[in-house]
Amino acid sequence: MRSGKFFAYLRIMSNTILIGAQWGDEGKGKIIDVLTADADVIVRSQGGNNAGHTVIHRGKTYILHLIPSGILRRNKVCVIGNGVVIDPIALVDEIVGLRDLGVTIHRNLLISDAAHLVLPYHRALDEQRELRKGRARIGTTKRGIGPAYGDKAARTGLRISDVIQPSLFSKKLEGKIRENNAILRALGAKPIDFDEVNESYLAAGQTLAPYVTNTVVYLRRALQRGREILFEGAQGTFLDIDHGTYPYVTSSNTTAGGACTGTGVPPHRMDRVVGVMKAYTTRVGEGPLPTEDARVTKMLHEMGREFGATTGRARRCGWFDAVVTRYATMINGIDELAITNLDGLDNVDPISICVGYRLNGKPLDVPPCDSTQWINCEPVYETVRGWKQSTRSARKISQLPKLARDYVSRISQLTGAKLSIVSVGPTRAETIVV
């Protein structure tokens, strides 16, 4: 794959929203890295450091949590939008970690002043809530994401604009710590030390201050100058707070609409939605996964694949589920598909594809609202023959084995969107533009 091809491809793409069409970890980082070649600005609009986006660049593996994956390329501006929740200590660590690996972070990173903060009491509450749920736990990343978005919705959150103003921040923090310590004590958890948090957050605030700005205004100007913007989704469609497998979801809108609310870029400026999906299905954490299959999980884990980029947890794996990807196309308005990890199925024969569900004997072609019902859905499978050979060296669709070509066209047909990219390995070169 040469970037020239993407140049031609992206000239007609303009502003692109990239989202995960499953339960996260679809390979968004890799596809963002590919598409970034011809974008000018890369923006995160939601989520926090629960995300882990893997990019392999010049032989080094980078895992990005809060910083858009475009940061690895020169002359790109990366923006963390207002819809992201930021743990400032984690963000400073990420900046330092990337610099240590030789990545330049200077004027190429902008942070929204309106983004909400994740504070230590959010992490403590996340942990406590999970503990108390026992077997009904969500399996969160314990990064404090739910409680931070909870404070935002309750209008009791602190924002980046607060942490860069020391006296204002300390005053607000004191009240918040008092209130949250009462809750933590009642739960039997360790209270948070005000001085420690105040000092470390103010120091992080000072480090981040040069990057902080009104990113809405920046993005508006970038659009006026004809810059192309790539919106980097985090998590995936079925972790969306409104459309996902509630309550086994994250706390933000991971679907395409989140790119507007989380950045302040209006809907009519969005030109295209790219949905990224694996050639099979994975999920990390609890909740419905109708096509989960112990043999698929075992095979992928034995290949050393499908361990979480953020928490290292083993991902649950299963067959491709077209009920969810079709629904993802509906919710996000997916125009184009990027299918990743096709090579994960190189040694599998036969291959099952879930084309529908049955619930209490009745056929369903969209997922039910209720998670318990979703868990009880039985997949209806269609079986196809596997290609049983490596796809890793294919660089054109014609170089894929015929059965692999048939497989990707079948899953795109079932999903209902045009196939644009097939990924056959984790590196940038291992990419086929269709």
- Interacting partner of 340 out of ligand IMO, Mg ion, ligand GDP, none (Cβ under 5 to 8 A depending on kind): ligand GDP
| The entry of Mg ion, ligand GDP, ligand IMO, none that residue 30 binds, CB within 5 to 8 Å by partner kind | ligand GDP
Cα–Cα distance measured from residue 319 to residue 337, given in angstroms and rounded to the nearest whole number: 18
3-class secondary-structure state, position 217 = helix
Write the burial class of residue 343 (CB in 10 Å: 0-12 exposed, 13-18 middle, 19+ buried). buried
| 242 noted as active-site residue | no
Peptide bond connecting 247 to the previous residue in cis, omega within 30 degrees of 0: yes
Say what angle helices 28-36 and 3-11 make with each other, to 10 degrees: 90
Quote the CA–CA distance of 429 and 167 in Å, as a whole number. 50
284 binds, among ligand IMO, ligand GDP, Mg ion, none (CB under 5 to 8 A by kind): ligand IMO
The residue among 341 and 352 lying less far from ligand GDP, judged by its C-beta, is: 341
As given in the structure block, the two tokens for residue 380 are 């209806």
Maximum Cα–Cα distance across the chain:
66
Please report, as ranges, the residues that interact with ligand GDP according to CB under 6 A: 20, 24-30, 52-54, 309, 340-341, 343, 423-426
Report residue 274: phi and psi, to 5°.
Answer: -105, 125
The smaller minimum CB distance to ligand IMO, of residues 149 and 169, is found at 149
Instruction: Tell me the residue nearest to ligand IMO as measured from the CB.
Output: 285
Q: Catalytic one among 33, 38, 53, 65?
A: 53
Nearest-approach distance from CB 29 to ligand GDP, in angstroms: 3
| C-alpha distances in Å from residue 407, one per residue of 275, 339, 387 | 17, 11, 9
Taking CB within 5 to 8 Å according to partner kind, which of ligand GDP, Mg ion, ligand IMO, none is near residue 147?
A: none
Nearer to Mg ion, 173 or 309 (CB): 309
Return the amino acid letter for 408.
Answer: V
Residues 318 and 279 sit within 8 Å (Cβ to Cβ): no
Minimum Å gap between C-beta 39 and ligand GDP is 16
Of 99 and 313, which has the nearer Cβ to Mg ion? 313
Nearest distance from C-beta of residue 63 to ligand GDP, angstroms: 7
25 is catalytic: yes
Nearer to Mg ion, 204 or 276 (CB): 276
3-state DSSP assignment of residue 68 = coil
Question: Which pair of tokens denotes residue 86?
Answer: 């930021």
| Residue 207 interacts with, from Mg ion, ligand IMO, ligand GDP, none (CB under 5-8 Å by kind) | none
**Closest CB to ligand GDP among residues 146, 425:** 425
Q: Which does 228 bind (CB under 5 to 8 A by kind): Mg ion, ligand IMO, ligand GDP, none?
A: none
25, 162, 240, 343: the active-site residue: 25
Residue 51 CB, nearest distance to ligand IMO (Å)?
A: 3
- Give the interface with ligand IMO as residue ranges (CB under 6 A): 20, 24-25, 50-53, 138-141, 143, 145-146, 234-236, 239, 250, 284-285, 309
Chain residues in the site for Mg ion (CB under 5 A): 25, 52, 309
User: How far apart are alpha carbons 292 and 311 in whole angstroms?
Assistant: 20
The whole-angstrom separation of Cα 121 and Cα 103 is 32
The distance of closest approach from Cβ of residue 189 to ligand IMO in the complex, given in angstroms and rounded to an integer, is 18
Q: Using CB distances below 5 to 8 A depending on partner kind, what does residue 33 bind out of ligand GDP, Mg ion, ligand IMO, none?
A: none
CB atoms within 10 A of CB 3: 12
Closest CA to 322 of 375, 283, 284, 379: 379
From the CB of 126, what's the least distance to ligand GDP, in Å? 20
Please provide the DSSP assignment of 225-274 as one string: TT--EEEE--S-GGG-TTTSSTTSS-SS--STTHHHHTT---GGG--EEE
Pick the closest to residue 323 from 367, 258, 386 (CA basis): 367
CB of 30 to ligand GDP, least distance (A): 4
Give the residue with the Cβ less far from ligand GDP, 72 or 119. Answer: 72
Which residues are known to be catalytic?
25, 53
